Amino acid sequence: MASTVIKGGTVVTADLSYAADVRVEGGVITEIGQGLKGDKVLDATGCYVMPGGIDPHTHLEMPFMGTYSSDDFESGTRAALAGGTTMVVDFVLPGQGQGLMDAAQMWHNKSGRANCDYSYHMAVTWWGEKVFDGIADAMKAGMTSFKHFMAYKGALMVNDDELFASFRRIGELGGLAMVHAENGDVVAELTAKLLAEGNTGPEAHAYSRPPQVEGEATNRAIMIADMAGVPLYVVHVSCEDAHEAIRRARQQGKRVWGEPLIQHLTLDESEYFNPDWDHAARRVMSPPFRNRKHQDSLWAGLQSGSLSVVATDHCAFTTEQKRFGLGDFSKIPNGTGGLEDRMPMLWTHGVGTGRLTPNEFVAVTSTNIAKILNCYPKKGAVLVGADADLVVWDPEKEKTITAGAQQSLIDYNVFEGQKVKGLPRFTLTRGHVAIHDGEVRTQEGHGQFVAREPRPAVNRALSQWKDLTAPRPVVRSGVPATGV
Ligand code: URP
Ligand code: ZN
Ligand code: ZN
Ligand code: ZN
């Protein structure tokens, strides 16, 4: 078997930095040490050898708001690799009445073209016996995390009774509950009011989803998860109101994790006031971009550990698709891209500013989520036996982000014109060098599905506590046990 040695770099993991060569054989890391030899050598002089990024929040070729997101598993994973990300986790979205495993099959039919490894979260978009049973089937098939939409009323949204039932079921089976936390009832009311008042432009999208709708829903989801005894992961945390709820819950010992997006960390609400309708509409996503105060809160959360993971929610629509919402902001397909840019943007604005150390960068782009989703150390690690999903990161390499040079299939980039410093020299997906010094050498279909086991220890700890604190009847002497 041919071997590749990554030579002369500094290995950077979530907890250590040290000079070493890394040998890769058969798609896995076989040796880490000094003076290693191999059939092929990749020069890592001046570079950091890090676990490839894991983006736990993508929507590739997703049916949504009357259309499909434009990046599919081929272009999406190509963009990922170009930016140093070697695994994506996409959301399976069952239709109303559809069984979870039927929907998973539809996703498997699409993902065969992936250039890097991928896994799935399952979404719970309606509730009934079929879903109750489907949760167990999904877990057996390697999908152990379940997203619930508290927004998108009349489409994907589930109500509190459904949320509670689903959370209990997932908790019992050792799974992870996830939420898109926005109060969908309030968003629907505000949307109708804004439209009636003639606020039809993309800026009204932001007005329809103020931080309070996110803070309220995040807090509600945390409390419902606590009552149900299930660990909770809050996706796309965009504001202090939601972060505050997560921070408080974690301080109280609740098993809750928060995921900000690179977009919310680096872009703000002024984008929606751009006089160019297309510019503003291209940035419409839920939750919307916020102001500086909220951005500072998210950065502080990453620094202090109250927020755990940086994702993209990559859900790319072309300008033509965005124009479905001309004259009515509520019809603009929600979503932005970012797969290729997450790692360079976070490095530039995080490590490059001193807000994050390189080790913290690895933690929030890869290792933390690998642990939360229980695919560590197969993923998210530089260890002998781990998959050779690696990025050789050149901290001196620079570029200006522009749509003309991107892998994504859409016709713009929300980070257009941003200068980044810190880019991949090589990206390896299970040993295959997919990005070679700026050259794209991806292999369509190389990606494999990563089945994940439940993480029962966390749920068991929660159940133990629930049992200890469960309601119990008081046994009283001299009073009949039942009746009058
Ligand atoms: O606007 C967004 N976030 N679109 C993708 C779907 C979702 O809510 O995650
Ligand atoms: Zn969402
Ligand atoms: Zn999403
Ligand atoms: Zn290969």
**pLDDT tens digit at each of 484 positions of the chain:** 899 999 999 999 999 999 999 999 999 999 999 999 999 999 999 999 999 999 999 999 999 989 999 999 999 999 999 999 999 999 999 999 999 999 999 999 999 999 999 999 999 999 999 999 999 999 999 999 999 999 999 999 999 999 999 999 999 999 999 999 999 999 999 999 999 999 999 999 999 999 999 999 999 999 999 999 999 999 999 999 999 999 999 999 999 999 999 999 999 999 999 999 999 999 999 999 999 999 999 999 999 999 999 999 999 999 999 999 999 999 999 999 999 999 999 999 999 999 999 999 999 999 999 999 999 999 999 999 999 999 999 999 999 999 999 999 999 999 999 999 999 999 999 999 999 999 999 999 999 999 999 987 888 887 787 788 888 989 898 876 665 5
Helix (H) or strand (E) segment spanning residue 5: strand 3-7
Within 10 angstroms of residue 376's Cβ, the number of other Cβ atoms is 20
Helix (H) or strand (E) segment spanning residue 426: strand 419-429
Centre of ligand 4 to C-alpha 448, Å, is: 11
What is the per-residue pLDDT for 217?
98
The pTM is what? Answer: 0.96
Q: How many residues in the chain? A: 484
CB of 399 closer than 8 Å to CB of 380: no
Alpha helices (runs of H) in 61-156, residue ranges in sequence order:
73-82, 100-111, 129-140
DSSP 84: T
* Structure-token pair, residue 58: 């993508």
Mutate to test the pocket of ligand 1, among 285, 329, 331, 414 (most ligand atoms within 8 A of CB): 285
CB of 303 closer than 8 Å to CB of 53: no
CB of 297 closer than 8 Å to CB of 305: no
Phi, psi of 280, deg, nearest 5: -70, -45
Q: Which residues, judged by CB distance below 6 Å to any ligand atom, belong to the binding site of ligand 1?
A: 59, 180, 236, 285-286, 313, 315, 334-335
- Determine the 3-state secondary structure of 484 from DSSP: coil
Which residue, by CA, sits nearest to atom 8 of ligand 1? Answer: 286
ipTM of the predicted assembly exceeds 0.85: yes
Ligand having the closest approach to the CA of 447: 4
Q: Is the dihedral angle over the CA atoms 387, 446, 410, 208 positive or is it negative?
A: negative
Pairing of strands 40-43, 256-258: unpaired
Centre of ligand 4 to C-alpha 435, Å, is: 12
Using alpha carbons, list the distances in angstroms from residue 404 to 346, 401, 411, 413, 416: 21, 9, 8, 9, 10
Helix (H) or strand (E) segment spanning residue 19: strand 17-19
Write down the residue that tokens 């050598």 correspond to: 41
Strand order in the sheet with 176-180: 53-58, 85-92, 117-124, 145-149, 176-180, 232-234, 256-258
What is the per-residue pLDDT for 309?
98
What is the per-residue pLDDT for 484?
53
Mutate to test the pocket of ligand 1, among 315, 317, 332, 414 (most ligand atoms within 8 A of CB): 315
